[in-house]
Amino acid sequence: MKVSVSKAPLNVHALEAIGFFVPKTSKEKSATALSALAGVVATGLDGDFKANEGDVLTLYPQKENFNAKRVMTLGVGETFSIDALRKSAAAFATKVREMKLPKVGLDLTDLESIAQATNEDEAYLAQVVVEGFEFGLYDFNKLKTDRVQALKNKKHKSEPKFEFKELVLITTASSLKAVQKGAEVGEIIGSTQSMVRDLINSPSNYMTATDLANAAKESGKKYGYKVTVLDKKKIQQLNMGGLLGVNKGSTEPPTFSILDYTPTGKPKATIALVGKGITFDTGGISLKPSENMSDMKSDMSGAADVIGAVEIAARLKLPIRVLGFIPATDNKPSGSAQNPGDVLTTYSGITVEVDNTDAEGRLILADALTYAIENYKPDVIIDLATLTGACVVALGYQAAGLFTNNDELAEKLLKAGFRSGEKVWRLPLWDDYDKQIKSEVADVKNTGGKGAGAITAAKFLEKFIGDHKAWAHIDIAGPSFPSLGASGAKSSSGFGVRLLAEVLRSWN
């Protein structure tokens, strides 16, 4: 998607549509202004258009000197906010995609007053708008053919899939540089999140552990950071019993990918990111119900987020070192699969009783956490995983669960969550929960029984960080899964990309 910025007057742009943000508090004022500018029928704003977040009303200009074919009013709710702008831009893009409009614009001529209303700088607001537009424009259609679409439409000639060409941000001379700066960042974050969503939405026969590793290598080659992929033989040499145990039932070999973006000059900090890369989760011998099992192709969302975050760090040339660690495998039942009751020895040397083979994500993360800390000694380590249904029960689909042993890190992540629109909420890590994962035959077991499932999963992971003082675990199961998230996405939301981008960009 091309994003351009213009200070030319609104009426001169030959576009398929121009979107105008309209809060409830100024519907009448907006109607009058749009009537004067384009001759649109103002009564539509009084009746059909409620100006709620995500509302879109299409109107048709009547003035000859207004060159855009359509005017679309975009509701932002009672008043302007970052979330409202992002959601409204996404709703606009979704409408544009549905109508197959290749080139459209957005009115940012009043950006200065929006900045005052939201207490945000103009560059960040432009970034948010572009992120939102990219989010709403997204459509996973890589596996659809033009011929199939033609047959659906009962035509003999194939129709090409819709390709959006350009978004024009129309602003003033005084805001031009800020909008250009913000649009550039927004396009990088938005396009990277779309790439991550493609990875997550890919069916498991297109996204094996090897495919995931290759995606990391492709990103590293394109954007100039180092990627090392350890194969099964090397994983065996390292005695990564958690990853190997989960992989026992699979015909696909596991991979362990290490991503390394290092800036020029001395980095301000070294941040390690660990992502759960279960490319498909049947539950193993502890088999899941068949209903909605197809969503388990997205159990590698944390891994995809890590690729996205390292890519963003490289593209923005951030002054921090960002490391990514991705243990990857599927979790399948077979004659060779691990059984409930088996005992594994992890990379750390800690033994684990496998109480339930469907609690597999924490097993592969255990190896990766210890490996990252012992071999790279990061200042901060953050893991992301679609880890537990219990976290969905606790927080729904609106927020991810946050567990951390560091209050300062918690504050950074909470703030970044609200600002990025990808919210997290802190849950306890009290030692009271340790007894639930006590094993009679090993050092620890991988489930804690009924109650506090998200917490006992986090307590399990805590066993593998040693004495590291700045670790956070983010359970993204609720907001990231296809068809379930509160983002409005019909497929994976790519939750976590904007959150990590905000944390990394604001690091000091």
What single string gives the DSSP state of each residue in 387-416? --HHHHHHHTTS-EEEEES-HHHHHHHHHH
With tokens 């957005």, the residue in question is 106
* CB-CB contact of 38 with 218 (8 Å): no
State the burial class of residue 91 (Cβ atoms within 10 Å of its Cβ: 0-12, 13-18, 19+).
buried
Q: Which of 321, 362, 419, 498 is catalytic?
A: 362
Dihedral sign for Cα atoms in the order 420, 425, 431, 434: negative
Known active-site residue 288: yes
* CB-CB contact of 474 with 405 (8 Å): no
Instruction: List the beta bridge partners of residue 37.
Output: none
Known active-site residue 362: yes
**Distance from C-alpha of 488 to C-alpha of 319, rounded to nearest angstrom:** 34
325 CA to centre of own chain:
17
What kind and span of H or E run contains 191? Answer: helix 176-201
With tokens 């999140």, the residue in question is 193
* Number of other residues whose CB lies within 10 A of the CB of residue 492: 28
**Distance from C-alpha of 223 to C-alpha of 262, rounded to nearest angstrom:** 12
Q: How many CA atoms lie within 13 A of 354 on its CB side?
A: 27
Q: How many CA atoms lie within 13 A of 384 on its CB side?
A: 31
**Distance from C-alpha of 213 to C-alpha of 231, rounded to nearest angstrom:** 10
**Amino acid identity at 235:** I
Pick from 103, 9, 106, 112: nearest CA to 56: 106
Pick from 449, 342, 421, 456: nearest CA to 131: 421
**Distance from C-alpha of 14 to C-alpha of 104, rounded to nearest angstrom:** 9
**Distance from C-alpha of 350 to C-alpha of 236, rounded to nearest angstrom:** 16
Q: How far is CA 62 from CA 14, 37, 65, 70, 118, in A?
A: 15, 10, 9, 10, 33
**Helix locations, 68-109, DSSP H:** 82-99
42 CA to centre of own chain:
38
**Distance from C-alpha of 166 to C-alpha of 197, rounded to nearest angstrom:** 21
Pick from 388, 411, 430: nearest CA to 470: 411
Q: Which of 69, 97, 181, 288 is catalytic?
A: 288
Catalytic sites, residue numbers: 288, 362
